[in-house]
Structures are given as C-alpha cells and as structure tokens.
Amino acid sequence: MGRELVDLFGRVHKDFRISVTDRCNFRCQYCMPEDGLDWLKREELLTFEEITRLTKILVENYGINSVRLTGGEPTLRANLSDLISMLSELPIEIALTTNGVNMNKNAHIYHSAGLHRVNISIDSLRSERFKEITLRDDMEKVITGIEASIDAGLSPVKINVVVMRGINDDEIIDFAKFGRELGVIVRFIEFMPLDADEKWSTLSVVSLEEIFSAINSIYPLEPVKRSNAPASRFRYIDGRGEIGIVASVTQKFCDTCDRIRITADGQFRNCLFSNEEFDLKEALRSGNTDKEICEFLERAVLAKREGHGIGNVDFIRPARSMSQIGG
C-alpha cells in the first residue's frame, strides 16, 4: 500500500461499493418505478475483469479493505460467483446486498466462492403489504433466503428495513422480534430521497429517535461504540443481539464517510447523493495505466463535498434512482 485515498476534509476511504447490474426483479417504491427502467446493455456493464482490476488498484495503492456488491439486484448478474471468486484473491472482506429472493439456491455457492457477509432487504413481514411494496408475492422466498444465508455460514447476516411513515412504521417491533428470534442484526434505514417516482418528503421519514424509542420501550437497548459504518448501533440489554439505525437524513454521518462507489455502467461516485459522476469505464477502456487510473481516482475523491446536503434549501436530489446508482 502506498498512500491513502483522502478528500479535502481529511476523510480516508476504505470501503468500495460496486454495482454489478441495474436490473431488479422487485419494484420497491423507494427504489424503482413500477414500469421498470431502460436496462443497460451487456456491453455497457463493467466486465468482471475490469471490476477486479479496479479493485486491485484500490487495494494495492490505497488499502481499501472492504468491498460490497450491490445493484439493482446483484444476484441477477450471470455468474456472480465467478466475480466473488476473483475478488477473493485480494485481502478484502466481501459483502453482498440483495433482496434475498435468490439466496436459497445461491448462498452456499457464494460463500464457497469467498463471500463473507450479506445484507438482505425486506420491508414488511406481512405478505400482503410486502406485495404492495415490492409488487411481487415473494416474501416467503426472501425469508427462506435469510435462513439459507445463515445456514451457509455467511456472517453476519443483516436485515435491511427502509422505514416509511404510514407504510411500514407499525412493524418496527415486529422486525426487532424477528431479528432476536433468528439471531440476525436488523438495520432500520431512514427513507432517503432516492426514489424513482420522487415522492419522498421529510414527512415520510421516521427518525432514529422514533425507531430507537419504539424498540427501547419493549426491548431495552444500550449504545454500542460506533465505527465508520453508517449505522448507529445498539445492543439489547438482555444479550439477545443488536440493531443498527442508519439515520442518513436526521443525523447525517458525512464527517466519517469512508465510502466510494461505482455504478454498473462504470461511473465513479464519491457520494451516494452526488449529482456528479466520473466516467471510470472510459478511463479503464482507453488504455490508461494503473498510475493514470490512480490519478483519476484521486481527482474524483478530491471533488467530494463536505456533506450530502439533504435538508438544505439548495439540495438537488440525484438524477438517478437508487437502483441505477447502487446501494
């Protein structure tokens, strides 16, 4: 490792998010329009070789130590286990964020290829509501996928729940109980302005304080020291595990953000909420040396803003939805 990938505000970047596809088999209202999007053509996607080369550059030159594969729905990318295997040759932790519907058949395969941990998204434990949110009748498949991930030895298994006022905020305790019974970490995520239909408003956000108070009133909690990870962590006083709350809106953590990301079509983003992208695919396919790619990455990271600006009068939401950017 030669140097650190640091921005103008002294934040050192160690976490790399890689979107491998923009396609998804769900239509969650906070992520993708009901009619879907115009999917990228295969030649527009970064190849596994390009992804691996880029990751190797980041690891060897800047000490990147954590990679997360996202989408879209990453399990829809053909032969994903091949990419996991290629990345596993590097000294990094490999994680996956998925809707879980394909994990029953893939959890053991991915773990054998080198996957360490998984986050599975599920926003309701009530079948009819699940169907309303995702427009798919697949709740039981997701739960089976969670169980398969545990059985495969992926650890930790975390459950991502986007909490939306008036939609699923009455299930906070249900999810806490679900996590305690299965022995998994539930991460409650504040609703963010990345929905394709642009219906987000601050009124739809259920805050960290509200989520914490609801759970703490039934299952007493105590704080856990926070790392650079986005979630504020709390453990159950009775020893039955922990939860996380990602308060991107009401308690932003931009000052400790150590994440960079690349979209499925090879656009480098220094912030999830940025409206600026850097065409890394073009740089990779234009015969640039590793040194030139490093210079590209350093310029892109130096352009990172101090904060995402949600709540500011001049905030402009990203032009692309979550499924196009990558979680």
Residue-wise pLDDT tens digits, 114-144: 999 999 999 999 999 999 999 999 999 999 9
Mean pLDDT of the 193-213 span: 81
Q: Is 195 exposed, middle or buried (0-12, 13-18, 19+ CB in 10 A)?
A: buried
Beta carbons within 8 Å of 51's beta carbon, 6+ residues apart: 18, 20, 83, 87
Q: What is the pLDDT of residue 39?
A: 85
Question: Residue 316 and residue 158: Cα distance in Å, rounded?
Answer: 31
The CATH fold assigned to 15-325 is TIM Barrel (3.20.20)
Domain boundaries, the chain: 15-325
Beta carbons within 8 Å of 141's beta carbon, 6+ residues apart: 100, 101, 104
> Does residue 193 have a pLDDT over 70?
no
Residue pLDDT, tens place only, 47-82: 999 999 999 999 999 999 999 999 999 999 999 999
DSSP string, 103-158: HHHHHHHHHHHT--EEEEE---SSHHHHHHHHSS--HHHHHHHHHHHHHHT-SSEE
Backbone angles phi, psi at 289, to 5 degrees: -75, 165
More confident residue, 99 or 315: 99
> Does residue 1 have a pLDDT over 80?
no
Can you read off the two tokens belonging to residue 9? 């505000």
Q: What is the pLDDT of residue 192?
A: 77
Question: Residue 65 and residue 42: Cα distance in Å, rounded?
Answer: 28
Question: Residue 121 and residue 142: Cα distance in Å, rounded?
Answer: 8
Nearest in space to 25 (alpha carbons), one of 323, 327, 326: 323
Q: Is 35 exposed, middle or buried (0-12, 13-18, 19+ CB in 10 A)?
A: exposed
More confident residue, 14 or 308: 14
Beta carbons within 8 Å of 19's beta carbon, 6+ residues apart: 70, 71, 72, 74, 261, 262, 263, 264, 325, 326, 327
Q: What is the pLDDT of residue 281?
A: 97
Handedness of CA 144, 145, 147, 152 (dihedral sign): positive
Amino acid identity of residue 149, one-letter, is: S
Percent share of the chain, pLDDT over 90: 76
**Chain position carrying tokens 């803003």:** 305
DSSP 238: T
Q: What is the pLDDT of residue 272?
A: 84
Q: What is the pLDDT of residue 9?
A: 96
Distances (CA, A) of 48 to 21, 69, 81, 83, 244: 12, 12, 11, 6, 32
What three-state secondary structure class fits 237? coil
